[in-house]
Amino acid sequence: MIKARVYVTLKKSVFDPQGKTIHDALQSLGYRGVADVRQGKFFEVAFEGLGGEEARAAAEEIARRVLSNPVIEGYRVEVEA
């Protein structure tokens, strides 16, 4: 079983109201020195019957085509054997 981890995050230029709300909450909880919070999505995709390279290519395509919206989001893929 090969596992891919896909991180989908809003592009830097896109305002993240959820992250801002969490940031505000952290400040009101007394956490000092928190400069910014950005919320994103995390996916674990498990592959069966694929080789490492195939799994990586599939994970990249899934991340690009389905899991993220290129207008507002970027993604990062990590694959572990």
Partner 1 sequence: MTVGVVVFPGSNSDHDAYHVLKHVCGQEARFVWHKDTDLSGLDAVVLPGGFAYGDYLRTGAIARFSPVMRAVGEFAEKGGPVLGICNGFQVLQEAGLLPGAMLRNRGLKFLSQPVHIRVERSDTPATAGLHEGTVLTMPIAHGEGNFYLPDEELDRLEGEGRVVFRYTTKEGHLEDAANVNGSSRAIAGVCNPARNVVGLMPHPERASEAEIGSADGRQIFEALVRVLQAV
| 67 near partner 1 (CB under 8 A) | yes
Q: Is 13 in the site for partner 1 (CB under 8 A)?
A: yes
Rounded least distance, CB 41 to partner 1, Å: 8
- 3-class secondary-structure state, position 58: helix
Count of residues near partner 1 by CB under 8 A: 11
Which residue type sits at 81? A
Sign of CA dihedral 12, 15, 21, 25: positive
Query: Where along the sequence are the contacts to partner 1 (CB under 8 A)?
Result: 13-15, 17-18, 21, 66-67, 69, 71-72
